[in-house]
C-alpha cells in the first residue's frame, strides 16, 4: 500500500556507514560470500532493487548485510567513541584510517572512548546512530571497564583471571614431580603407557605378581576396587 492510499510509509533505514575494520570478521566473510549465488541466491535481485528503488506494492528483498548490521548495532555491546560531532575520532589520510591509529585503538580502546561518571567506557544505547560507536574489543577491553555490563560480569572475569594465575602457579610447582614420575627412577620411565596424557602421572607400570597365601578375592572389593590384581591357581598344580 502506498502512502497516498493512506498507508504508513516504510520506516527509514538507519545509516551507520560501518567501515570494514569496524565490522566483525563474520560479517566481513558474509559480505564476501554474498556475492555468490550459491550462498546468497537473491544477491542480483537485491542489487537491482537497491538501484531502482522499491516499487509500490513490492516486497523488500531481505539483505544479509542489513541483518549483520542489526546484529552488530542492536545485539552486540558497543561503546561511545570520542567523536562528538558524528565524525570518527580517528585521523584519516587519503580516505583510509591510519594503521597506527587502528593499532592504538585495539591496544587501548579506553583512550578513544567517552568516559562516564563511573570512570568507565560509556556503553552505547541499542541502535545508537546519533553518536559514533564501536564494538568492545574482545582481547583488549580491560576488566575494570565492564561496570556497565553489571557487577556479575566484572566478578566473573576477575575470578577467571585469579583462577588462571592459581592454576599456572600450581602447574609450575608440579613440574619437578612430573619430571620425577616420568624419569628412570620411577617405574622405569613408565613403559607401556600409550596415552601421552598419563605420562608424568603417578601411574606405576613396573609391577610383578607376588604370592599371598592369606589373600582372598573379597580383599579387592574395597575402594579402589580392582579385581584384575587378584589371581588364583589350583592348589594341586604343585
Query: Model confidence at 150, in pLDDT bands (50, 70, 90)?
Result: confident
Segment of 47-51, 54-58, 165-169, 206-210 carrying the highest mean pLDDT: 165-169
The pLDDT of residue 66 is above 60:
yes
The pLDDT value given to residue 138: 83
Please state, for a pLDDT cut of 70, what percent of the chain lies above it.
77
Give the least confident one: 10-14, 70-74, 77-81, 108-112. Answer: 10-14
Query: Averaged over 49-66, what is the pLDDT?
Result: 80
pLDDT greater than 70 at residue 169: yes
The angle subtended at Cα 39 by Cα 38 and Cα 43, nearest 5°, is 90
- Residue for cell digits 619437578? 176
pLDDT for the residue numbered 151: 81
**What is the pTM (predicted TM-score) of this model?**
0.58
Across 69-126, the runs of DSSP E, i.e. the strands, are 78-80, 92-93, 96-97
The pLDDT score that the predictor gives to residue 76 is: 92
Residue 120, pLDDT score:
75
Compute the distance between CA of residue 211 and CA of residue 232 in angstroms, rounded to an integer: 9
User: For the chain, how many residues are written?
Assistant: 238
- Please calculate the CA angle 8-14-20 and round it to the nearest 5 degrees: 150
Answer whether residue 222 shows pLDDT above 80: no
Average pLDDT over residues 213-230: 77
Rounded to the nearest 5°, which phi and psi values hold at 42? -100, 15
For the cut 80, the answer to whether the pLDDT of residue 59 exceeds it is: no
- Residue 80 bridge partners (DSSP): 133
Helices (H), 190-233: none
For residues 191-212, average pLDDT: 77
Q: Percent of the chain scored above 90 by pLDDT?
A: 17
Rounded to an integer, the average pLDDT of 87-113 is 51
pLDDT at 85 over 50: no
Q: Which three-class secondary structure string do you get for the chain? A: CCHHHCCCCCCCCCCCCCCHHHCCHHHHHHHHHCCCCCCCCCHHHHHHHHHHCCCCCCCCCCCHHHHHHHHHHHHCCEEEECCCCCCCCCCEECCEECHHHHHHHHHCHHHHECECCCCCECECCCCCCCCCEEECCCCCCCHHHCHHHCHHHHHHHHHHHHHHHHHHHHHHHCHHHHHHHHCCCCHHHHCCCCCHHHCCCCCCCCCCCCCCCCCCHHHHCCCCCCHHHCCCCCHHHC
The cell 585495539 sits on which residue? Answer: 106
pLDDT bin (cut points 50, 70, 90) of residue 236 is low
Confidence of residue 200 (pLDDT cuts 50, 70, 90): confident
Amino acid at each position: 500500500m502506498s502512502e497516498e492510499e493512506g498507508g504508513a510509509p516504510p520506516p527509514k533505514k538507519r545509516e551507520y556507514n560501518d567501515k570494514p575494520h569496524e565490522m566483525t570478521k563474520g560479517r566481513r566473510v558474509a559480505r564476501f560470500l554474498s556475492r555468490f549465488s550459491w550462498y546468497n541466491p537473491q544477491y542480483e535481485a537485491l542489487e537491482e532493487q537497491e538501484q531502482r528503488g522499491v516499487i509500490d506494492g513490492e516486497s523488500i528483498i531481505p539483505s544479509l548485510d542489513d541483518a549483520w548490521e542489526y546484529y552488530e548495532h542492536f545485539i552486540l555491546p558497543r561503546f561511545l567513541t570520542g567523536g562528538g560531532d558524528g565524525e570518527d575520532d580517528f585521523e584519516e589520510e587519503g580516505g583510509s584510517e591510519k594503521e597506527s591509529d587502528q593499532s592504538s585503538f585495539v591496544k587501548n580502546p579506553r583512550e578513544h572512548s567517552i568516559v562516564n561518571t563511573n570512570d568507565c567506557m560509556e556503553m552505547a544505547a541499542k541502535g545508537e546512530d546519533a553518536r559514533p560507536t564501536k564494538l568492545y574489543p574482545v582481547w583488549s577491553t580491560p576488566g575494570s571497564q565492564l561496570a556497565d555490563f553489571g557487577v556479575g560480569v566484572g566478578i566473573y572475569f576477575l575470578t577467571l583471571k585469579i583462577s588462571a594465575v592459581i592454576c599456572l602457579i600450581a602447574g609450575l610447582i608440579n613440574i619437578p614431580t612430573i619430571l620425577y614420575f616420568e624419569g628412570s627412577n620411577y617405574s622405569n620411565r613408565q613403559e607401556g603407557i600409550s596415552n601421552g596424557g598419563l605420562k608424568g602421572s603417578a601411574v606405576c607400570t613396573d609391577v610383578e605378581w607376588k604370592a599371598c597365601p592369606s589373600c582372598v578375592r573379597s580383599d579387592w572389593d574395597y575402594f579402589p576396587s580392582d579385581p584384575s590384581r587378584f589371581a588364583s591357581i589350583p592348589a594341586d598344580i604343585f
